[in-house]
Amino acid sequence: MSKHFKILIGIFCIGILICGLGIGIAFMEFSTLTYGGKQIVGKTKMVTENVDVPFEPGEEQYLVWGQWGWKQTKIVTDSKVPEDTVRFRVTYNAERVTPHAYLNQEAKEFHFTCRWTGDDWDEIGLLIEAKDLVLKNLKERTIISLDRIEMEEVVVLVNPGNEEDVKLIY
C-alpha cells in the first residue's frame, strides 16, 4: 500500500469515529427531553353558534358532506330544530373563521365551509410566535406540539321528522 492510501484510510476512520461520537451526544441530549403537550398559536376566541339551512323534503335523501374531519359519525335528532331544516352547531375560533352552510338544490347536497376572517392572517407573525414558543420550551428541555384552532366541532342536527330525509357522507 502506498503512503497516501494509508493516510486516506486513517482520515476515513477518524471521520467515522467523530460521526459516531456526534450521534451518541445527540442521542443523549434528545433522550433527556420531555413532552410538554400541545400549545395554541395565535389569537383564540371560541364561539358556539347554530347555522340553519332550510330544505324541502322529497323522494330523494339530501346528502351532508362531512368535511373538516368532524368527530361525528351520525346525524343527531333534536326536537328543538324546526322541521325541514338542517342545523349545524359549530364551535369555532371567531378570530380566524366564520362558518357558512348552504344547500346545493340541484345536487341535493348540504355543504358546510368556513371563511377566513379577522386580522389573524399574519402567517409570518404566527411563524415567529411558534419559533419563540419552541425555543423557550427547548431551553426548558421540553418538546411541544403547536396548533392553531379554526374549527373545533361541527354537529349536524335535524328534527326527528326529517331523520330519513338527510344522510351524512364523507
Closest CA relative to residue 147, chosen from 130, 132, 131 = 130
List the chain domain ranges.
3-32, 39-169
- For CA atoms 102, 87, 66, 39, give the dihedral sign: positive
**What local confidence, expressed as pLDDT, does residue 44 receive?**
87
Q: pLDDT class for 132, splitting at 50, 70, 90? A: very high
Higher pLDDT, 50 or 148: 50
pLDDT in tens, 28-83: 988 889 999 999 888 889 999 999 999 988 888 888 876 655 566 678 999 999 99
> Average pLDDT of 15-27?
94
**What local confidence, expressed as pLDDT, does residue 167 receive?**
87
The phi, psi pair for 147, rounded to 5°, reads -150, 155
Closest CA relative to residue 133, chosen from 29, 94, 125, 97 = 125
Cα–Cα distance measured from residue 105 to residue 56, given in angstroms and rounded to the nearest whole number:
9
pLDDT in tens, 85-115: 999 999 988 888 888 889 998 889 998 888 8
Paired strand residues for 6: none
Ranking 7-16, 61-70, 146-155 by mean pLDDT, the lowest is 61-70
Residue 33 · residue 142 · CB < 8 Å = yes
Residue whose C-alpha cell is 494509508: 6
Cα–Cα distance measured from residue 70 to residue 155, given in angstroms and rounded to the nearest whole number:
8
**What local confidence, expressed as pLDDT, does residue 8 receive?**
93
> Average pLDDT of 151-168?
89
**What local confidence, expressed as pLDDT, does residue 71 receive?**
61
Q: pLDDT class for 18, splitting at 50, 70, 90? A: very high
